[in-house]
Structure 1
Amino acid sequence: MAILGFLMIATFLYLVMTKKVSVLIAFALVPIVFGLIGGFRLEMGEMMLEGVQKVTPTGIMIGFSILYFGLMIDRGLFDPMIAKLIKLTKGDPLKIVMATAVITLIVALDGDGSATFMITITALLPIYKKLGMNPLILASTVALGAGVMNIIPWGGPLARAMVSLDASSSQLFNPIIIPMLSGMIWVVFVSYVLGKKERKRLGIVQWSGRGAAEETAASLEAPSAVLPKMFWFNFILTAVLVTVLIMDIMPVPVLFILAFALALIVNFPDVKKQNEQIAAHAKSMVMVCFTIFAAGIFTGVLSGTKMLDSMAVSFVSLIPDWMGPHLPALIAVISMPLSLVFSPDAFYYGVLPIVSKSAASFGIDPLEIGRAALLGNATTGFPLSPMNPSIFVLLGLCKVELGDLQKSIFLWAFGTTIVMTAVALITGAISL
């Protein structure tokens, strides 16, 4: 079953990254084929339904967030900010990409990957479009920033590690604060590299004191300084939405349904206009939501057939005895790639307890294994993992393919883990 599980994930990644089939088709059909090979038949129906039910709240949230922020972009909510940021960065793609990294690192303090993607992408995507910048650069930069910030104590991975190892937040997080800061610096450095490439491709748009654009290698019409219609209502509604989102006082799917309904009726009192507004973003909404539901089929079969459990046990059994004393460093290095294979729950509740017990037999503090895992698994690696539904928020808003994002930032994300691992070894957070 372990071999079958690894082959199933490898087949999925191959089909997606080579663009042989769409992500939706791969999610839906690959698990069925491998489930049948494993001897499962009609019982897979219940497994798939259970998986779909688990991702349904995420699908609803993402669907209505696309409709909501689509409406806000159409109504020009972000136009004043676009004009200000373009002037501050003087139309320089390099400065804009670096600003994207810094903004993401700040916004990601809320600990919610989906919220980080929604807030940063919807605010910055119009700027990238105005300048003709590649949305894949935006997606890559935001993904890298959100990944390293997912280490924070109120993020999902650390909470799972605390439960799995019966540890406190301070025991796991405090020793890796400095490594995490080094990861943040690395992300800003990567944004510089990516931004420099965009600057070379597009050039710089110079702005005069009157706000007019002077053409160099690119040209840009300055956004109007006049506030768009319904600006203050939309601004206050969005501010309240983000605040309640961060405070976590209402289920996020319900929150977006209510916010979109209110925004729609106030901005478009006419029913015909309401329907036109929904139709304008329906295609994006449907494709993203369908992909998420199909992802539920994939994870449902992977879990229901016990492939994940078998993969966790077999993974630990592959670690040779001579590597035992070096387990913290080993786990740190491979933690990020393992995000592509294991869901956060499967890794932190399945793999981590087994590895930590094995480490204890070599005289290694299990907490070191927990810290090592946090340097990559479901942190720097979570924006690349098809096991993580929130990644489809990023993909849907930027309109980029999962395979393209994986190829774009895999090495950069892995680099984040390597940098943090090196600093963790130097500071003694983990041992070699």
Structure 2
Amino acid sequence: MLTILSYTMIACFMYMVMSKRMSPLVALILVPVAFACLGGFSSGLGPMMLDGVKMLAPTGIMLTFAILYFCMMTDAGLFNPLIKLILKCVKGDPQKIVIGSAILGICVGLDGDGATTYIITTAALLPLYRRTGIRLQVLATVLLLTNGVMNILPWAGPFSRAASAMHVDITELFIEMLPIMLAGLAWVVFVAFYLGRVERRRLGVIELGDDEGLHHFTEFRLTDWKFLFNAALTVTLIALMMLSIMPLPILFMLAFGLGVLVNFPALKDQKAVIGKYADNVMAVTLLIFAAGIFVGIMSGTGMIKAISGSLIQVIPESAGHFMSVITAFLSMPFTYVLTNDAFYFGILPILAETASHYGIGAQEMAIASLIGQPVHLLSPLVASTYLLCGLLDLDYGDNQKASLGWSIGTCGVMFIAAVAFGTISVFN
């Protein structure tokens, strides 16, 4: 009964959001509460929801100060040289702009953090997209696909979870994953080429002046030493993130404090910068805490365990020889409806135990489990996707419909590459 209730709740949530009968904020709060009451869990709802909110509170704090930090740096002019370089290369050609978006997303995504990638990339490219008339959904789709692959880097969360759960060497696992990731990135660039071509046919090539598109970034001028300080502070921030020296929320709080003090020493200017981006901050933070209610109820009621058990039970014993293939395909819906922790530490070990009886190794299962990460980013449990939609002012449901097919395509290409390189065996 709980399993049916769980699937029905997820289907209802997606229907309400995609059909625009509810906003994501309202659906994240009311839909799980309604189904929890139907399941007889009304008496324990308060603690469940509070636990979920506490779980996502660090993420909410991190995104709050990350948005403020990178928006402040944008106003301070840190990204002006990058924007000038992009303008010089693309010259108003929508196809080149979209391809450039993918390449920039890949470069920025080397830090393994989706929120940072979205903030920096949209800050650099949003004026150019608005000036040329390219649909912002194209940028969102390309960045989601890019981050779906870059999220598999060793210092990103899913990779370390898969390696830990399977007790495999991280270096060896990354060497095996690298060609698969390169194939995924090649697909991302191809999709950017295709979507950019569609936009070029729709809009044509737009003539841009040498400095056009920079007017959003020149409100505050930097002296040389300030530019060097901002660049050094940002590089240090990203390096500390990758090295996990401190928790991300603390890093962004400290970086924002230092950055705003140096670039806007006057109190009125500091208030102006914070007030300017308050709407963006609130839109994202509210969604994060609402998602905490969704996660808290799913965990507290046992819905996550019910979904996990039901999905494992449908795998017939005769399919044991194909467990790595099955895991690769199941990782898409598994990581969509479950958190990464629930999948990698709850589901994957059970699948791997079954696979071991048929001679399928732990490393192969770890690789298979990472194939579905591009789809995971569209999950309602992923905070950074709400951030991206907020930054580009896109409807969450529309973004789901526009990006899901391309994300599944990324998973398909990575699976084919894994089979071609022999890291996943179709026949054992």
TM-score relative to the length of structure 1: 0.90
Does structure 1 residue 423 correspond to structure 2 residue 417?
Answer: yes
Query: Which of 351, 365, 368 lines up with 1:355 in the alignment?
Result: 351
2:80, 2:214 within 8 Å by CA — same for their partners in 1? Answer: no
Q: How far apart are the structure 1 equivalents of 2:156 and 2:223?
A: 33
What is the CA distance between 1:221 and its match in structure 2? 6.5
Task: Read off the aligned partner of 2:50 and give its amino acid letter.
Answer: L
2:333 is matched with which residue? 337
State the distance in 2 between where 1:409 and 1:281 align. 27
Counterpart residue type for residue 92 of structure 2: G
Distance 1:314 1:272, change over 3 A: same
The aligned amino acid for 1:431 is S
1:323-350: per-residue Cα shift (whole Å, max 9, x none)?
Answer: 2222211221232233221110111111
**Distance of 1:46 and 1:345 partners within structure 2:** 21
Q: Structure 2: how far apart are the matches of 1:245 and 1:80?
A: 19
Q: Does 1:400 align with 2:401?
A: no
Residues 259 and 176 of structure 1: CA distance in aligned 2, closer, same or farther (over 3 Å) = closer
1:73 and 2:105 correspond: no
Counterparts in 2 of 1:358-377, with a 5 A limit? 358-376=354-372
Aligned match of 1:247 = 240
Which residue type is aligned with residue 409 of structure 1?
Answer: S
Once the two structures are superposed, residues 78-128 of structure 1 have per-residue CA deviations (whole angstroms, 9 ceiling, x without a partner) of 344323311221111111111111121222222222222222222222322
Name structure 2 gaps, 5 residues minimum: none
Partner of 2:204: 203
**Number of the residue aligned with 1:409:** 403
The structure richer in helix per residue is 2
- Alpha-carbon distance between aligned partners in 2 of 1:380 and 1:113, rounded to the nearest angstrom: 12
Q: Secondary structure at the match of 1:206?
A: coil
AA of the residue aligned to 2:111: D
Residue identity in the other structure for 2:274: I
The offset of 1:197, in angstroms, is 1.6
Q: 1:226 to 1:59 in 2, by over 3 A?
A: closer
Kindly state the Cα deviation for residue 10 of structure 1 after the two structures are TM-superposed. 1.6
Instruction: Assess, with a 3 A threshold, how the Cα gap between structure 1 residues 410 and 66 changes in structure 2: closer, same or farther.
Output: same
Matches within 5 A, 1:221-236: 228-230=220-222, 232=224, 233=226, 236=229
- Name 2:113's counterpart in structure 1: 112
Q: 1:173/1:277 Cα in 2 relative to 1: closer, same or farther (>3 Å)?
A: closer
CA RMSD of aligned residues (A): 2.4
CA distance in 2, matches of 1:348, 1:137: 31
Range with bigger deviation, 405-414 or 115-124? 115-124
Give me the whole-angstrom Cα distance separating, in 2, the residues matched to 1:8 and 1:321: 29
What letter is aligned with 2:311?
F
Q: Partners of 1:429 and 1:57 in 2: how far apart?
A: 36
Structure 1's 366 and 267: CA in aligned 2 closer, same or farther, altered over 3 A? closer
Q: Which residue of 2 aligns with 1:380?
A: 374
- Distance, in Å, in 1 between the alignment partners of 2:116 and 2:213 is 30
Equivalent residue letter for 2:379: S
Structure 1 residue runs of 5 or longer lacking an equivalent are 213-219
The answer on whether the counterparts of 1:79 and 1:223 sit within 8 Å (CA) in structure 2 is no
- The CA distance in 1 between the partners of 2:368 and 2:213, in whole Å, is 49
Residue of 277, 283, 308 corresponding to 1:287:
283
Comparing 281-290 with 114-123, greater Cα deviation is found at 114-123
Per-residue deviation, 1:412? 0.8
- Alignment partner, residue 126 of structure 1: 127
Question: In the alignment, is the contact (CA less than 8 A) between 2:49 and 2:296 conserved in 1?
Answer: yes
TM score, norm. by length of structure 2: 0.91
264-273 or 253-262, which moves further after superposition? 264-273
SS at match of 1:20: coil
Give the stretch that moved more between structures: 170-179 or 312-321: 170-179
Residue 153 of structure 2: SS of its match in structure 1? coil
Per-residue CA deviations over 1:237-270 (Å, capped at 9, x if unaligned) read: 2541343233233332233333334444444444
Asked if 1:301 is matched to 2:297, the reply is: yes
Aligned partners of 2:11 and 2:168: how far apart in 1? 33
Residue 252 of structure 2 aligns to a residue in which SS?
helix
> 1:247, 1:63 → 2: CA distance?
18
**For 2:134, what is the secondary structure of its paired residue?**
coil
Q: Identical aligned pairs, as a percentage?
A: 42
Aligned pair count reads 421
Shift in Å, 1:235:
5.8
